[in-house]
Amino acid sequence: MKIKKNYFLLTTYYLLLTTYGFPAFQDTGWGTRAGGMGNTFTAIANDPSATLWNPAGIAQLEMLETTFMYNKLFAGIDDVNLSQMYAAGVYPTAIGSFGLTVTDFALWGYYRENTVSASYARDLAEDLGVTFPLMAGLNLKYLTHSYMLDSRTKSMDNPVFAGGTSAGGFTPDIGILLKPSDYSFGFSALNILQPDVGLKTEDNVPMILKFGTAYRGGDWAFFENITPTVDVSYRKPADNTADFKVSGGIESWFNYNTFAARLGGNDREFSFGFSYNKMFSETGLQLDYAFLLPLQMPDTSGSHRLSLTFRYTLSEEKVKAKEKIAQEEGMHSPPAPPPQKEEQPVPVHKEEQPVPVQKEEQPVPVQKEEQPVPVQKEEQPVPVHKEEQPVPVHKELTPEKKLSLKKGHYDAALRHYEKGEYELAIAGWEAVLRIDPNDADSKNKIELAKIHLAEKKQKAVPVGR
């Protein structure tokens, strides 16, 4: 009876995969955000799960990030426990981003697939002289699959398992990600060497080709960072028909990037998902959920993905250490408190009145009636660089208008940051802090922008100087 049950479970597993045309090591979709968008992520790839879609994407990460995901596949089918799990971590450095990923796909008690991969990615824009982010990435991974046999199954002496119950192989993956303007384009080739993981006969893991495009559509009403995306994937198993899939999805954030909603699908499944994101002083976390309903399996209640992402900012000591190294290497690092430095240019042009500048606010027209024009001229550059005037205005705004103004400064700074305009990005996030001095995300972004600005200026110094 137990043999019949084992046979039934393995047969069910086989049918689940062949229903979708997927033999071993098929990419049934990894990552919760991607799952909520119909398994589309090749052109976005901006969290640690990028190593499973497009390794070039991890070059976008600015903090140490770790992600853990669990996926209950095809819930509701009796006696079948299919699951996906993975853990991934990405560590960005001055020479590129490094990642480590471990995955587990299992029919519990009977069959398991595992991969371990090491990743590296780098933005090559400055090296190639292009004006937009152009990232390339590489995975080096080892794949294994194994069967768990009970004593009765072993007693059958199946020749398939004569040489063992597991096999594995090595293969690299490559990826490219381009982000001109508000568009992004991604391409990846996975399982390039098509390793043989057969137990008795040859069984090569097919190569998977992916292409994706996404568009950052900005904001509309209470929707923030609206991003529609499309993925196309191609897979051709040996002695089998090719699997060609087109998927589409959309993501939008709300309430200053605190909440997110997603929707997507393809000819095989429909999906939706949501997120909650929270930044603290030096850390942050994000909780993601996605529901995927297969269209060709009416007897299941769908798949449920849940993931938790942790973000860790550089400590103050590490930031200072990087700035010290930058200075030793001749890089000019922006001053720690830019507001104090920006006040100096004003009295330089107005040397005649270095002291009255501080006292003009008290006896405004009384003591300095002779120079009404210089007073007005001094007021013009100050709002440009320091935006001192809006401060009392913010206090009079309603909470809704303050949030709107804060979001506008943040989004503008983020756009400048993505284009490499770090000075403008710093100014934008400083404007956010004048509205909300406790905004931890803006503080972290400023420190990161300073480091990138120092690196950018160092590369701009001519050789031999």
2-313: CATH topology is Porin (2.40.160)
Question: Which is more confidently placed, 25 or 350?
Answer: 25
Separation between Cα atoms, residue 67 and residue 309, nearest integer Å:
4
Catalogue the long-range contacts made by 291-299 (C-beta closer than 8 Å, 24 or more residues apart): 291/36, 292/29, 292/35, 292/39, 293/269, 294/20, 294/74, 294/268, 294/269, 295/267, 295/268, 295/269, 295/270, 296/19, 296/20, 296/268, 297/16, 297/19, 297/74, 299/76, 299/77
The confidence score (pLDDT) of residue 273 equals: 97
Once rounded to an integer, what is the mean pLDDT over residues 125-142?
Answer: 94
Q: What are the CA-CA distances from residue 75 to residues 28, 80, 268, 273, 444 (Å)?
A: 15, 8, 16, 17, 40
Distance between the two ends of the chain, CA-based, in angstroms? 81
CA distances from 222 to 37, 56, 250 (A): 20, 31, 15
Q: How long is the chain? A: 465
Does pLDDT of 196 surpass 50?
yes
**How buried is residue 361: exposed, middle or buried, by Cβ count under 10 Å (0-12/13-18/19+)?**
exposed
- Written as six digits, the tokens of 146 are 């194994």
Q: 430 or 344: whose pLDDT is higher?
A: 430
The lowest-confidence range among 260-269, 270-279, 326-335 is 326-335
User: What residue ranges in 124-165 does DSSP mark as E strands?
Assistant: 134-147
Question: How many CA atoms lie within 13 Å of 353's alpha carbon, on the beta-carbon side?
Answer: 18
Residue with the two structure tokens 């590490």: 318
Looking from the CA of 42 toward its CB, the CA atoms found within 13 Å total 23
Which range of 74-88, 151-165, 221-235 scores highest in mean pLDDT? It is 221-235
Quote the CA–CA distance of 105 and 89 in Å, as a whole number: 18
**With contact defined as beta carbons under 8 Å apart, do 334 and 453 qualify?**
yes
Question: Which pLDDT tens digit goes with each residue over 55-72?
Answer: 999 999 988 999 999 999
Could you read off the pLDDT of 17-31 as tens digits, one per residue?
Answer: 443 444 577 777 899
The kind and range of the H/E element at 247 are strand 243-254
**Position with higher pLDDT, 426 vs 200:** 426
6/153 Cα distance (integer angstroms): 8
Residue 321 banded pLDDT, cuts 50, 70, 90: low
**Percent of the residues in the chain that have a pLDDT greater than 90, as a whole number:** 42
Mean pLDDT of 250-276: 94
CA distance 273 to 32: 8
* pLDDT tens column, 390-424: 444 455 677 777 777 887 788 888 877 776 778 88
Task: Say how far apart CA 49 and CA 229 lie, in whole Å.
Answer: 16
Looking at residue 159, the DSSP 8-state letter turns out to be: G
Give the number of other CB atoms < 10 A from CB of residue 367: 12
- pLDDT given at position 343: 46
Q: Indicate the helix (H) or strand (E) that contains 304.
A: strand 303-312
Q: Are 315 and 336 in contact (CB under 8 A)?
A: no
151-171: average pLDDT: 80
Tell me what pLDDT residue 70 has: 96
pLDDT at res. 202: 86
pLDDT at 78 over 90: no
The angle subtended at Cα 17 by Cα 11 and Cα 22, nearest 5°, is 140
Q: Quote the radius of gyration of the chain (alpha carbons, Å).
A: 27
Mean pLDDT over 246-266 rounds to 94
Indicate the domain borders of the chain.
2-313, 330-460
Among candidate residues 76, 72, 81, 67, the one with its CA nearest the CA of residue 33: 67
Separation CA 251–CA 41 (nearest Å): 11
For residue 359, the model assigns a pLDDT of 47
Look at 23 and 289; give whichever has higher pLDDT.
289
Per-residue pLDDT reduced to its tens digit, 376-390? 444 444 444 444 444
